[in-house]
Chain A
Amino acid sequence: MSTPLGRRLDRVTLLTLGGIVVLAAAGPALAPHAPTEALDPQRLAWQPPSGTFLFGTDGFSRDVLSRFLVGARHTLGVALLAASVALLLGTAVGLGAALTRGWRDSLLMRGTDALLAMPRLLVLLLVVTGTGALRLDALALVLGATGWMTTARLVRQETRRLLATDAIRGAIVLGVPPMRLVTHHLLPALAPTLAVAATGAFASAVPLESGLSYLGLGVPTPLPSWGNIIAEAEGDLLRRWWVVVFPTVAIIGTVLLANRIADRVASRGEAS
C-alpha cells in the first residue's frame, strides 16, 4: 500500500478520523439548538431537511442535526470506553493464559471460548433488561465486558508466538522478572496486535450501542445517540428517512474507518 493511491487513501482516513474526533469533541458547541429542546411540537414535527433544519426534525420537533452532533459524543464515547475495557480485560486474560500455560491457560481459554459462543446481543439484552436503563459509563462497561474475548484470543496467540522469539527468550534468560517482561518486552512487542484489537473492539461497539439504543436499551433518552435518533423514526423508516440516513451513514463510516485503521496498523506491524 505504498502506492500514491494508497497514501492518498491513508490521508483520507486520517482526515475522516480527525473530522469525527472534532465532531465528538466540539459537537455541542456546533449544534444550532439544544438537542433535547422541542422547538414547536405542533408545527415543526417531522420536518424534512431544509435550509432551516439541515437534517430535518423528529416527532418532538427536535433538531436532528443538533441531536446528531451531540449524540456523536455519546456514541463514540461509549464505544471508546467499551473498547478500552475490552482491551484491558482481553489483554489481561490473553497474557495470563499465554504466560501461565497448563490448566490455568486451558481454563481461561475454554472460558473465553464459552463466552464467545454466546450471542453478544442476547447477553446484552439479558443484562440490560435485568438492570433497566444504564448510565452511559455503566453501558460502556457492559459493552466492554462482553467484547474482550477476541482480544484475549489474539493476545494469547501473539504472546505465545513472542515467547518463542529470540528477543523474549533473551530477556527471560537474562533474568528479567515476569512483571518487567510484560511491561518492557511483551507489551511493546504486542502494540500492533493491541492496536488491531482495540480498533476491532471499537468497531464492534459502535453499532452495538446504536442497536441497543435503537431498542431503547442503550443510551437513555432524552440523551441523544446515533442509535436512539434512528429509533425516533418509530418504525416508519422509509417515510422519515432523514432521521435514519444521517446517523446510519455516520455509524457505517466510523466502523469502516476503524477497520481501515486496524488494517493499516496490522500491515505496518508486519513490516517492522
Chain B
Amino acid sequence: MSPTPSVLEVRRLGVRFAGATAPVLDGIAFSLRRGEALGLLGDSGAGKSTLALALLGLLPRGARCTPETERRLGSTRLDDLDDRAWAAVRGRRIAMVFQEPLLALHPTMRVGDQIMEAGRLHGLTEQACTHRMREGLETMGFEAPDRIAARFPHQLSGGQRQRILLAMAMLMRPEVLIADEPTTALDPERRDAVADALARLRRDHGTAVMLISHDAALLRARCDAVVALRHGRLVDAPEAEAEAATATGATAPVADDAGANPMTRPSLNRSASPAAASATGTAPPLLRVEQLCVGYGAPGVGADDAGETDDVIRGCSFTLERGEALGVVGPSGAGKTTLAQALLRLLPARRGRISFDGTDLATLDGEALRRLRRRLQHVAQDAGASLPPRQTAVAAVAEGLLVHGIARGAEARTRATALLAEVGFPAARADARLDTLSSGERQRVAIARALGPGPDLLICDEPTASLDADRREQVLALLERLRDTRGLALLLISHDHAAIARLAPRVLPL
C-alpha cells in the first residue's frame, strides 16, 4: 500500500512441540509496517500466544521454531540470534504486553521504577528515563504521572495496571509492540482508553502494533488489518468467521449459526466460539458475573468509591460461554480462590450477581442449589484435603454419581473405575484409602470425582500444582479434550502460565 518498509517480516513460521506429531503453528506469514496495527483473532488454543512468544524468542521449553522459519525485524534476522542477542532485541526493539498485568508487575516495586527499569538496563540516562516515564504515563492517559509512579501495583486498578504495562513496554520506543489481550480485563470505558493510547503510540512514535484479542469488534475498529489463526494457520478474518459458522461440531457440541455475525455480539463475550449464542442469539452465557464483591465477615464501613472496602473481590465482572476456558490469574491474596468459593456459593456475594445459565445463584437454596451443583463442579486447590480421607478412591468418585442419581451400586463402581482410568489413576490403587495416596494421585481422584456428575462448568483451582510433568500433561490434555468434546467450560485458576496459555485463551486478572 505504502512505500514504508516493513519493520517485522515473518515467513513460513512454524512451531512444533517436542514429541507432538503436528506443528501447533504452520506456515505463518505476515508483515508489519511502521505505525501499522495488525489484529490477530483466534479460537482458544489456536496458538495466538505461542505465535507472540515465537516472535519474542520466548517459546516454552520443548517448543521450537521449524527450520524453515524466517523472522526479520528491520534488517535483523531473528532466527540467527543467540540468547544474548535476543536480550538486546527484546524490550528494546520488540516489546510485549502480556495478558496478566498483575503477574507482569513486581508487587513491591513502585510502578515508576518498574517502568524505568528497562531504560536503566538498556543504558538510558536517569534523566531520560524519568522524562520518558512521565511522557509514557501521560500518553497512557494518566493525568498526574508522578503520583501514579510512586504507587505500588496493588494500589492500582486492573485497568491502571494494564496501562502501566503499556507505558513500560513503550519506554524504549520499540519498533514493534505485541499486546496480548490488553483489554480483556477492562470495562468498556477503559478498553477505549487503552485502545486510544495504543493509537497515540502508533501516531507519535511510529510503533507497529500487533493486537491479539478475541474481541473481533475491537480489532476491526482499531486495526488496519485483521487476520485469524485457525488450526495453526493464518487466514483472513472474514474467512475464519465463515469457517467458524460451518465447522461447528469441531469446537462445541451445540450447532448454530452464531459464528456468522460476531459483530452483533457484546464485545466482552467471546466471538470465536460458535456455541456462544443460540440460534436466536439470546441464550444467556453459561456463567455471567456482574460487579461481584465478596469479602469475609461483616462488611467494613470504608468508602466504596475509593476502593477502600474490605472486600477481597471488588466489582469483578466477566462471562463464560459453554465450552470456553477462562484463566484466572493474580498474585496470592488477589482473591482467586475467594472468587471460586463465591461462584460455588460457599461464600455469599456482598454485591453483584452471579448467573449460571441465566439463573441467579443467590436465588437458589437447598435442593435447587444442590441439583445445580451437578452442573457446576470444582477441583479444589488442595485437592487431597477436599476428599473424604477415610473413603477409597473409587468410593469417593462413585459418591458423585450416587448423590445425583446417575448410577448406583455396581454400576456406579464401574463408572467410577472408568473415570479414574480416564484421569490416569492406576487401577490397582482404586480400592486404597484416600489418605494412603500420594498428592498427585489424590489430585486425579478429585478431578475424576468432579467429572462424575457430568458438569457444564469445572472450576479448577491450581489443578496441576501437585503434579509432575507427565501427569500435568495428562491432566491438561484431559481438560482440553473435555472442553473440546463435551463442551465443558473451564475456569482455570493457576500460576501455571503455560497451562493457562494452553487451555484458556482469555485471562481474568485479579
Q: Which residues of A contact B (CB under 8 A)?
A: 165-167, 169-177, 180, 184-185, 188
Check if B382 sits within 8 Å of A166, measured CB to CB: yes
Q: Chain A's interface: helix, strand, loop or mixed, by majority?
A: helix
In the bound complex, residues from chain B placing their C-beta under 8 Å from that of A170 are 378, 380, 385-388, 446
- B residues 169-225 in Cβ contact with A at 8 Å: none
Give bound CA distance, A17 to B378, whole Å.
47
Cβ contact of A169, chosen from B346, B390, B446, cutoff 8 A: B346
- Would you call A173 and B378 a contact (CB within 8 A)? yes
Q: Is the CB of A171 within 8 A of B380?
A: no
Contact partners of A174 in chain B: CB under 8 A: 373, 377, 399-400, 403, 449-450, 453
CA distance A177 to B382 in the complex (A): 23
Residues of B within 8 A of A166 (CB): 380, 382, 385-386
In this complex, what residue of B is CB-closest to A174? B400
B344 within 8 A of A: yes
Task: Offer 5 A-B interface pairs, CB within 8 angstroms, sorted by A.
Answer: A169-B380, A174-B449, A175-B370, A175-B374, A184-B399
In the assembled complex, the Cα of A174 lies from the Cα of B399 at a distance in Å of 9
Give the distance to chain B from A35, nearest Cβ to Cβ, in Å.
45
Rounded to whole angstroms, the CA-CA distance of A184 and B388 in the bound complex is 9
**A167 pairs with B403, CB closer than 8 A:** no
How far is it, in angstroms, between the C-alpha of A169 and the C-alpha of B382 when the chains are bound?
A: 12
Does B281 make an interface contact (CB < 8 A)? no
Interface size class of B (residues with CB under 8 A): 20 to 34
Cα–Cα distance between A171 and B346 once the two chains are bound (Å): 12
Q: Is the CB of B386 within 8 A of A188?
A: no
Q: Does B120 contact A (CB under 8 A)?
A: no
Let me know if B373 and A175 touch, CB within 8 A.
yes
Q: What string of 1s and 0s marks CB contacts (under 8 Å) between B385-399 and chain A?
A: 111111000000001
Mask: chain B, 352-375; 1 = CB below 8 Å from A; 0 = not: 000000000000000100110110
> B404 on the interface (CB 8 Å rule)?
yes
List 14 additional contacts besides A171-B399, A175-B373; criterion CB under 8 Å: A166-B380, A167-B385, A167-B389, A169-B346, A170-B386, A170-B388, A172-B373, A173-B344, A173-B380, A174-B373, A174-B399, A174-B400, A177-B403, A188-B390
B399 near A176 with CB under 8 A, answer yes
The residues in B between 287 and 318 inclusive whose CB is less than 8 angstroms from any CB of A are: none
CA A172 – CA B372 in complex, angstroms?
12
When chains A and B are docked, how far (Å) is the Cα of A180 from the Cα of B367?
A: 13
B404: A residues at CB distance < 8 A: 175
A173→B377 contact, CB < 8 A: yes
Query: Which 10 pairs show the lowest CB-CB distances between chains A and B?
Result: A170-B386, A175-B373, A166-B385, A166-B386, A173-B378, A176-B403, A174-B400, A175-B370, A175-B403, A173-B344
- Residues from 326 to 345 in B contacting A, C-beta threshold 8 Å: 344
Q: Which of A167, A171, A172, A177 has the most CB of B within 10 A?
A: A167
In the complex the two chains form, what is the Cα distance from A16 to B400 in whole Å?
Answer: 45
Contact of B346 among A167, A173, A177, A180 (CB under 8 A): A173
Query: Could you say which residues of chain B place their CB within 8 Å of the CB of A188?
Result: 388, 390
| Complex Cα–Cα for A171 and B404 (A) | 12
> Once the chains bind, are B403 and A185 in contact (CB under 8 Å)?
no
Instruction: Chain B residues near A184: list those with CB within 8 A.
Output: 388, 399
Q: Is the CB of A167 within 8 A of B387?
A: yes
Cβ-closest chain B residue relative to A169: B346
Residues on B with beta carbons closer than 8 Å to the beta carbon of A185:
388
Instruction: Convert B418-441 into 0s and 1s, putting 1 for each residue whose CB lies closer than 8 angstroms to a CB of A.
Output: 000000000000000000000000
Q: Please state if B388 and A171 are interface contacts (CB–CB under 8 Å).
A: yes
Which residue of chain B lies nearest to A172 when distances are taken between CB atoms in the complex?
B346
Chain A residues lying within 8 Å of B371, measured Cβ to Cβ, are 175
B453, A175: Cβ atoms closer than 8 Å: yes
Return the chain A residue nearest B370 by Cβ: A175
Write the nearest CB–CB distance from B242 to chain A, whole angstroms.
Answer: 41
CB nearest to B452 among chain A residues: A174
Q: Chain B residues near A176 (CB, 8 Å)?
A: 399, 403
Residues of A within 8 A of B346 (CB): 169, 172-173
Assembly CA distance A167 to B382 (angstroms): 10
Chain B residues contacting A173 (CB-CB under 8 Å) are 344, 346, 373, 377-378, 380
Q: Closest approach, in angstroms, between the C-beta of A50 and any C-beta of chain B?
A: 56
With A and B bound together, what is the CA distance between A177 and B404 in angstroms?
9
CA distance A177 to B369 in the complex (A): 10
Taken together as a complex, chains A and B put the C-alpha atoms of A177 and B389 apart, in Å, by 19
Min CB–CB distance B391 → chain A (angstroms):
8
**Which chain A residues lie closer than 8 Å to B380 at the CB level?**
166, 169-170, 173
Q: How far is the CA of A188 from the CA of B400 in the complex (A)?
A: 18
In the bound complex, residues from chain A placing their C-beta under 8 Å from that of B386 are: 166-167, 169-170
> Which residues does chain A contribute within 8 Å of B446, judged by CB atoms?
170
Task: Point out which of A167, A174, A177, A180 has the most chain B C-beta atoms below 10 A from its C-beta.
Answer: A174
Shortest distance from the beta carbon of A184 to any chain B beta carbon, whole Å = 7
In the complex, what distance in Å separates the CA atom of A166 from the CA atom of B453?
19
Most buried by B among A170, A171, A188: A170
Nearest CB in chain A to that of B376: its residue:
A173
A165 touches B385 (CB 8 A): yes
Least CB distance, A176 to chain B, in whole angstroms: 5
Provide the residues of chain B in CB contact with A177, threshold 8 Å.
367, 370, 403
- What residues of chain A lie closer than 8 Å to B387, measured between beta carbons? 167, 170
Closest Cβ of chain B: how far from A177's Cβ, in Å?
Answer: 6
Q: Which of B388, B390, B446, B449 gathers most chain A CB within 10 Å? A: B388
CA distance A174 to B380 in the complex (A): 11
B116 nearest CB across to chain A (Å): 44
Task: Give chain A nearest CB distance to B32 CB in angstroms.
Answer: 47
CA distance A173 to B446 in the complex (A): 12
Which chain A positions have C-beta within 8 A of B377? Answer: 173-174
Q: Which residue on chain B has the smallest CB distance to residue A188?
A: B390
| Closest A residue to B446 using CB positions | A170
Best-buried of B344, B382, B390, B450 by chain A (most CB within 10 Å): B390
Q: How far is the CB of A268 from chain B (nearest CB, A)?
A: 14
Question: Chain B: which residue is nearest A181 at the CB level?
Answer: B403
Q: Which chain B residue has the least Cβ–Cβ distance from A173? A: B378
Docked-complex contact A175 and B388, CB < 8 angstroms: no
Cα distance, A167 to B389, chains bound together (Å): 8
Chain B nearest CB from A4 CB (Å) reads 28
Q: Which residue of B lies closest to A176 (CB)?
A: B403
Looking at A166, A169, A175, which has the most chain B CB atoms within 10 Å of its CB?
A175
Instruction: Tell me whether B390 and A175 are in contact (CB under 8 A).
Output: no
State the CA gap A220–B446 with chains docked (Å): 58
Q: Which residue of A lies closest to B381 (CB)?
A: A166
Chain B residue at minimal CB-CB distance from A180: B403
Docked-complex contact A167 and B388, CB < 8 angstroms: yes
Please give, as numbers and ranges, the residues of chain B lying within 8 Å of A180 by CB-CB distance: 403
Nearest-neighbor residue (CB-CB) of B372 within chain A: A175
- Give the distance to chain B from A270, nearest Cβ to Cβ, in Å: 15
